[in-house]
Structure 1
Amino acid sequence: MTPKEAYDELTKQCKEISLLGSVTAVLGWEERTYMPRGGADLRAQQLSMLAGMIHERFTDPKIGDLISAVENTDVVKVEDSIEAANIRELRHQYDKETKLPKSLVEELAKTTTLAQGKWAEARKQNDFKAFLPLLEKVIDLTIQSAECYGYEGEPYNALLDNYEPGATVEEIAGVFKPLREDLVKLLAKIQGTSKKPDVSIIEREYDPELQKVFGEMVAGAQGFDFNNGRLDITTHPFCSGFGPGDTRITTRYNRNRLNDALFGIMHEAGHALYEMGIQKDKHFGMPVGEATSLGIHESQSRMWENQVGRSKEFWMYFLPQAKRIFREALADVSLDDFYGAVNYVTPSYIRVEADEVTYNLHILLRFELERAILKREIKPADIPGEWNRRFKDYFGIEVDKDSNGCLQDVHWSAGLMGYFPTYALGNLYSAQFFAKAQQDIPDLMEQFQRGDFSQLLGWLRKNIHCHGSRYRARKLGEKVTGQPLSHKPLLDYMTKKFGEIYGF
């Protein structure tokens, strides 16, 4: 078999494995949207079996032999070519996955499926103790996975690599430290001003059915294609890209908070646009047909949610549309007042509802806790107390109940430890990307005033989406912006924006 024939066979095998993965994704989406709670045990068995099948097929020695047959040949001689990137990432994934026993993969899939259902119930009932037994098991299995992978430094590095390939705790902590210091200073400036937006504007009554209409209108303007996607309701919003032609987003509605669903939809639509922009029709099943990292993924969702959705120019176009839909709630509201309301800054309990300034502090808190949990410095039973103590240190307020504290996020029930830092990384990347987009498209903000977001989407398609995993995150960031990852563009953006809103 020639190297080219080996590459073609590897592509065929990976596509078949990815088809199984897409079946898993459909079942996971349905479990969190429409599945009756009574189906949890069966769904856990289904997903466990599929996880085992996928693991067994991908870790088959034949896959390793095919990768080896292509490495160091003319097929991959051009660095960062599509073929070279695919083989680079497949080797990385294969070497990691072959360290995990099939039994652990199956047990983790089964346990996390059950845990997500129990978490949803526990969150609703504010009952951490009911969730604790499954949380303990998920954490134990997650630590076992880290030990199987192996790591340098601390266990967190093994898991972080699943979401941000090549990144380390030490690198991220080095970026997060000055970020936290400057965020605390910025928050203090904001809290020290007498000028305060009227947040009650977004806390009036907004019919959920009308919120859905408005949310779909906004997602469509972003570029979300409802012929290749859909919007549904869930407990914790998420996006699922199953493959070519099928990308789904979810949200949740709060009758007395317009921000929650609207910016949730814009956020998940940002994820979806990335999924829709990757060339899956050409590369489905191979790494170049997938996102390069969750930090880059989050940069897309956070950009649409914040730099676009919370800009004054966005609301110059959409506030008149919103007034026609929410006639009573917004009849007396001016553009400046509404712009201030959707950018109101104050420490709050819920991460997904947090403002731009305090959001990253929520992430740094979770990053700190997860590192301690994985080193077994914090027992699962002690998580509520540790969360509440550290939350007060970060935000200066007492957590009133666990559903507003350690039970608010789905991630730990799904075994996603190591995921949270990607949100803050996404904010950092988004600021750098958006600054570069503004440089390349000088009238970008004027386009927003007309409700035209097509040039921004085109810029993202050309510079980020189309590459998939061709470049690792840091290299992609430097290729697009010409600069290394830094917190400074984000702080510059927020200081300018909130200085104007709060008058400092």
Structure 2
Amino acid sequence: MPANHTAAYESLCSNARETAKLASIMGLLEWDERTKMPPAGGDYRAEQISYLAGEIHKRQTNPAVGEWLAALADSPLAADRHSESGTVIRQLQRQYDKKTKLPQSLVEELSRTAVLGQQMWVEARKADDFAKFRPLLEKTVELKRQEAAAIGFAVTPYDALLDDYEPGATTAEVGPALAGLRDALTPLVEQIVGSSRKPDGELLKKEFPLDAQEAFGKAASAAIGFDYEAGRLDVTDHPFCAGAGPRDQRITTRYNLHDFGDAFFSILHEAGHGLYEQGLPADQFGLPTGEAVSLGIHESQSRMWENQVGRSRAFWEHFLPQAQTAFASLKGVSLDAFYGAINEVRPSLIRVDADEVTYNLHILIRFELERALIEGDLQPAELPGAWNEKYQRYLGITPPNDADGVLQDVHWSAGLFGYFPTYSLGNLYAGQFFAQANKDLGDLPAAFRRGEFRPLLDWLRQQIHAHGQRWSAGELALQITGRPLSHAPWIEQMRAKYGELYGL
């Protein structure tokens, strides 16, 4: 191989790894901002993160990167697009092409506004005051429209933003997929709501001491494989997972004294994200071969551990006796009653508390609203009314206030437009992957009853985590399951599970 190809590749990788160090420092600052930072530190934190975002952008768009990529384009190192070097070259070329379209001033302003927006969102939600948040939301929407215009798009500006989270996906593909999922869900929800069987969700609304919730949540997440030597659990306003390095994953939750599920299932969800990050090749950190495929695949991991595992009967055959030791309020509660309570289906206001059946309707609402905001068909000032109208139409309920309505999610305050559809895509991928894992491994519920979660984790690491970005999300689904992404496996799982629970 010519020496110039080797030198160019080594320089390209070195630049990417050095850039990842800066990004991990920024990630740590962002984690601190949402967990430990004193409120008065917000303004300067915005300047710190804006500065780092600018420096990262400089490194990603350095003309030398373009020269290295040009030298490698037709080299043997790029010949196999799924090889280690082929993946690195292909994905960094994609990143370079996109990032060079963005002015550094816009990148810095987006980062600065995201920090200030999240700080203001916390205040506005606590005060139930959308008007307080609206100016920063208006600025964020305008900046995201500028970003989409700079990147370019064929049909809708929303495509340019969606691509950040689900590379290659388009609104024309995602919109019908979500609508198809809604159409398949609607009759199932109607059947469940009309059933005479009514699980007692109030079992989860008794008193659950916060220290016991933390201890139990940590024990359960460790049992499924989250490594607390390479991670930690903290408290925040809106649960998330953040990485500060290849062996440093931060997961967060929020606790409610009178709601067991609020913290517990968010811990499992965020641990699922953390397990993916902990399973990526550590020696490839900073390179595409050491990074997650897409947010849809990331969400497939978190939703699978939260729902297919954590809300399964088999999981609680193992964990309910431990929960009854930890919480006096669960003593004497039968497995049937508890299993019904954690899987109660009813239209609800809060997305993160939604049951797994109606959850996708929450996502559809956000997808439609944020697309309208970016396309200019909806103005931020009109958002609360539009939000309430859609909740009434899709879920039959109207939020009593903005804190439990339009202000409930952190995403828009952070500029994460295009993120929401990946939650539903994650559900579909989770259903498809779990069905295949159960087929390959044989009777996963039996393993869960014994408290054995390692076989599933090892399967996920071999099939998904170890490959980094060698394959696209769609290619990965086809390679693992032999079929393209489909909502059929997930719907089938929902019908089987809730058909039994509700006597359908």
RMSD: 0.7
Determine the C-alpha separation between the residues in 1 that align with 2:156 and 2:247: 40
Tell which deviates more after alignment, 19-28 or 79-88: 79-88
**1:402 counterpart SS class:** coil
In structure 1, the residue matched to 2:378 is 378
Q: 2:113 aligns with which of 103, 111, 114?
A: 111
Q: Which amino acid aligns with 1:354?
A: A
In structure 1, the residue matched to 2:48 is 46
1:404-423 matches, cutoff 5 A: 404-423=404-423
Q: Which amino acid aligns with 2:239?
A: P
Determine the C-alpha separation between the residues in 2 that align with 1:104 and 1:76: 32
- Whether 1:334 and 2:324 are equivalent positions in the alignment is no
Deviation at 1:2, TM superposition (A): 1.5
Q: TM-score, normalised by structure 2?
A: 0.99
- Whether 1:426 and 2:426 are equivalent positions in the alignment is yes
Deviation at 1:52, TM superposition (A): 0.6
- Identical pairs, percent: 53
Long gaps (5+) in structure 1: none
Q: Which digits, 9 at most, give the CA deviation of each residue in 1:23-45, with x for residues without a partner?
A: 10000000000000100010000
Determine the C-alpha separation between the residues in 2 that align with 1:175 and 1:376: 23
- Whether 1:248 and 2:261 are equivalent positions in the alignment is no
Determine the C-alpha separation between the residues in 1 that align with 2:107 and 2:403: 29
In structure 2, the residue matched to 1:152 is 154
Determine the C-alpha separation between the residues in 2 that align with 1:402 and 1:87: 46
**2:196 counterpart SS class:** coil
Tell which deviates more after alignment, 405-414 or 74-83: 74-83
- Whether 1:467 and 2:463 are equivalent positions in the alignment is no
Q: Which amino acid aligns with 1:174?
A: P
Q: Which amino acid aligns with 1:279?
A: P
In structure 2, the residue matched to 1:312 is 313
Q: 1:235 aligns with which of 218, 227, 237?
A: 237
Determine the C-alpha separation between the residues in 2 that align with 1:130 and 1:312: 44
Q: Which digits, 9 at most, give the CA deviation of each residue in 1:224-253, with x for residues without a partner?
A: 111100000000000012222101100000
**1:32 counterpart SS class:** helix
Asked if 1 retains the 8 angstrom alpha-carbon contact of 2:28 and 2:243, the reply is no
In structure 2, the residue matched to 1:97 is 99
Determine the C-alpha separation between the residues in 2 that align with 1:178 and 1:443: 30
Q: Which digits, 9 at most, give the CA deviation of each residue in 1:77-120, with x for residues without a partner?
A: 12311111111111111100000000001111111101100001
**2:244 counterpart SS class:** strand
1:15-414 matches, cutoff 5 A: 15-280=17-282, 282-327=283-328, 329-414=329-414
Long gaps (5+) in structure 2: none
Deviation at 1:288, TM superposition (A): 1.1
In structure 2, the residue matched to 1:489 is 489
Determine the C-alpha separation between the residues in 1 that align with 2:343 and 2:72: 52
Determine the C-alpha separation between the residues in 1 that align with 2:222 and 2:42: 34
Q: Which amino acid aligns with 1:492?
A: E
Deviation at 1:498, TM superposition (A): 0.2
**1:310 counterpart SS class:** coil
**1:153 counterpart SS class:** coil
Residues matched between the structures, number: 502
Q: Which amino acid aligns with 2:307?
A: N
Deviation at 1:432, TM superposition (A): 0.2
Q: Which amino acid aligns with 1:248?
A: R
Determine the C-alpha separation between the residues in 1 that align with 2:194 and 2:60: 56
**1:403 counterpart SS class:** coil
Q: Which amino acid aligns with 1:86?
A: V
Asked if 1 retains the 8 angstrom alpha-carbon contact of 2:81 and 2:90, the reply is no
In structure 2, the residue matched to 1:444 is 444
Determine the C-alpha separation between the residues in 2 that align with 1:28 and 1:79: 34
